[in-house]
Amino acid sequence: MIVRPPQHWFFMVFTWRGSVLSSILPRLALNLAFALLVVVLHGWVEGFGLRLSIGPFSLMGIALAIFLGFRNNTSYDRFWEARKLCGGVLIHTRSLLRQAITMTGRTPDDPRIVQFAVLLQAFAYALKHQLRQTDPHDDLARLLPLATAERLAAAQFVPAMVLRELAQWLADERAAGRLSDILWQSMDENLNQLSAILGSCERIASTPLPYAYSVLLHRTIYLYCSLLPLGLVDSIGLLTPLISVFVAYTFMALESIAGELETPFGTEPNDLALDAICRTVERSLLEMTDAPQLPPALQPNDQYILT
């Protein structure tokens, strides 16, 4: 996720880091080259009676902008839902640990409470690794006993297995008489909420926007931007390359941003900062167990990207 301090409006015009310009620059260069070719050959082509007016492009541009706006809104909805789900992990893990401390009568630094807190941290990291399709072993081994970490890391759905460990912890406390049926049910509801968050995140990660729709929009954008110089050259002449590249930048950049937001759990600059969210969960839960020292909060790198 790109995290930058507020900038003056003038300097934002020339911002490079954090924009998608670098990824679409080769395509804009091709558009510029074609627009220059159209200007150079304009007089020669006119001799064959081949002329295009700007009218059809105006109508096509309006329709294309509407469809592109729908694409961006859909992608941002996925991004924002994913962010709310990640925030829910922090909310429900805090609630579970608070209930474990206050409802069982144990002290915050009790080994059983620390074990429960560590399992909650492991759930957050396991969820991150499953969504990013990376290996959770190192984080699990850092948090859990080695035998437990290896057993959980070998599973296909590691976060679900961590939830089972948390449920077993609640069952043990209930069997020991430290949790009544009502209190156990209250804590189990928070576990159900974590399970719902897991399922919702899996739904977003495994269900992209329909491919045929993305292909149609992609083809239309590039065909429109390629033909645009032919419609502009009669009306604006030498300014055709400038205006053509500006319009192409707008459409191509919006499509590129939508493509990044569509998969919010990845490692692109505009994706969610799952590493920072997991570190926040870890720091918060450690503080609730009166840990003497907290790991430092993650900060953006020199590219203003928070992972």
Residue 178 located in a structural domain: yes
Residue 165 located in a structural domain: yes
pLDDT digits (tens, 9 = 90+) for 203-219: 999 988 888 888 888 88
Residue 110 located in a structural domain: yes
227 Cβ partners below 8 Å, 6+ apart? 52, 57
pLDDT digits (tens, 9 = 90+) for 115-138: 999 999 999 999 999 999 999 999
| Total domains present in the chain | 1
Give residue 227's pLDDT band: very low, low, confident or very high (50, 70, 90).
Answer: confident
What DSSP state is assigned to residue 4? Answer: -
Contact 80, 272 (CB under 8 A): no
Percent of the chain with pLDDT over 70: 94
Give residue 47's pLDDT band: very low, low, confident or very high (50, 70, 90).
Answer: low
How large is the average pLDDT for residues 137-143? 92
Q: What is the pLDDT of residue 45?
A: 60
19: left (phi over 0), alpha (psi -120 to 50) or beta: beta
CA atoms of 60 and 55, how far apart (whole Å): 9
Q: What is the pLDDT of residue 46?
A: 62
Percent of the chain with pLDDT over 90: 46
Residue 226 located in a structural domain: yes
Residue 303 located in a structural domain: no
| Domain enclosing residue 164, as ranges | 23-38+53-288
Regarding predicted confidence, which is higher, 56 or 285? Answer: 285
Residue 180 located in a structural domain: yes
How large is the average pLDDT for residues 230-249? 85
* pLDDT at residue 79 is higher than 80: yes
How large is the average pLDDT for residues 235-248? 86
Contact 92, 124 (CB under 8 A): no
The angle that helices 21-40 and 240-262 make with each other, rounded to 10 degrees, is: 150
Contact 147, 176 (CB under 8 A): no
Residue 8 located in a structural domain: no
Mean pLDDT: which of 124-138, 199-213, 266-280, 287-301 is highest? 124-138
DSSP state string for 129-173: HHHHT---HHHHHHHS-HHHHHHHHTSSSHHHHHHHHHHHHHHHH
Residue 207 located in a structural domain: yes
Give residue 21's pLDDT band: very low, low, confident or very high (50, 70, 90).
Answer: confident
**pTM score, whole prediction:** 0.88
